[in-house]
Amino acid sequence: MSGLLAGRRVLVSAGPTYEDIDPVRFLGNRSSGKMGFAIAAAAQAAGAQVQLVAGPVQLPTPPGVARTDVRSAAQMHAAVLQALPCDVYVGAAAVADFTPRTVAREKLKKAPGQDGLVLELVRTADILAAVAAHPQRPRLVVGFAAETHDVAAYARAKLERKGVDLVCANRVGPGAQGFESDDNALLVLDRAGTAQALGPAPKAVLAAQLVRLFAERLA
């Protein structure tokens, strides 16, 4: 491992985003950040200079990794673009696709007899697609795809749509590893149509395998 990514700059986004509704409520998701943190640690161990942009997670910063904490998709977008240029961008974060159109300044109160509430959501910017289309595009742009079904087909569509080099797809939902687990199984797809299955294995093992793959692609 050691030295495989020496002299490379690796930028990793990890964890969920929280989209505020009012001062006490938000829309979030079940991402633990473990996969992204494991990739940051493995890249650092391989000699890279690593910048981690983390959503709200309960995880220690891997030794030697520079970390910026963010909360929302908009903050993550800004932090990631600010951290460019780099050689490798890994979008491991589970970024909210939608965010409330407005954030209430005061806590929303229910009215007597109110039996429902409609929240208006708007699309967030796609960080991964923005990095892939950026004038300072990293040489390697890596996305993640969490799918409950038709994993390979959806992941391949994502690869094309977002203009990325690699997509690491995993199955989520009942009976699957993924979000909160320490283990995972990935299907890594590239633009040439190759598919490589990694795991099931601990996320640290998968992260080391991914880093090796990144190094090969950069060579």
Q: Which residues are catalytic?
A: 29
Closest CA to 36 of 177, 142, 161: 142
CB 95, min distance to ligand CTP, A: 4
**184 phi, psi to nearest 5 deg:** -160, 165
Site for ligand CTP in 62-81 (CB under 6 A): 73
Nearer to ligand CTP (CB atom), residue 66 or residue 81: 81
Quick one: the chain helix, strand, coil %, rounded to 5? Answer: 25, 30, 45
Chosen residue from 44, 49, 99, 124 binding ligand CTP by CB under 6 A = 124
List the one residue from 10, 79, 128, 206 that touches ligand CTP (CB under 6 A).
Answer: 128
Q: Which of residues 156-215 bind ligand CTP (CB under 6 A)?
A: 158
DSSP for 38-54 reads HHHHHHHHTT-EEEEEE
Angstrom distance (rounded) from CA 177 to CA 155: 17
**Binding footprint of ligand CTP, residue count (CB under 6 A):** 15
Figure out which of the listed residues 4, 65, 88, 127 binds ligand CTP, where binding follows CB under 6 A: 127
Residue among 42, 126, 185, 210 that touches ligand CTP (CB under 6 A): 126
Q: Which helix (H) or strand (E) holds 161?
A: helix 151-162
Q: Are strands 49-54 and 66-69 parallel, antiparallel or unpaired?
A: parallel
Q: What is the DSSP letter of 72?
A: S
User: Is residue 93 involved in binding ligand CTP (CB under 6 A)?
Assistant: yes
Among 145, 186, 204, 210, binds ligand CTP (CB under 6 A): 145
Binding mask 96-115 toward ligand CTP (x if CB under 6 A, else -) reads -x------------------
Stretch that binds ligand CTP, among 61-69, 111-119, 143-151, 176-184 (CB under 6 A): 143-151
With the CA atoms of 44, 47, 53 and 54 taken in that order, what torsion angle do they form, in degrees rounded to the nearest 10? 0
Distance CA 23, CA 219 (A): 48
User: Rounded to an integer, what distance in angstroms lies between the CA atom of residue 78 and that of residue 84?
Assistant: 10
| Shortest Å, Cβ 141 to ligand CTP | 9
**Contacts to ligand CTP by CB under 6 A:** 13, 73, 91, 93, 95, 97, 124, 126-128, 143-146, 158
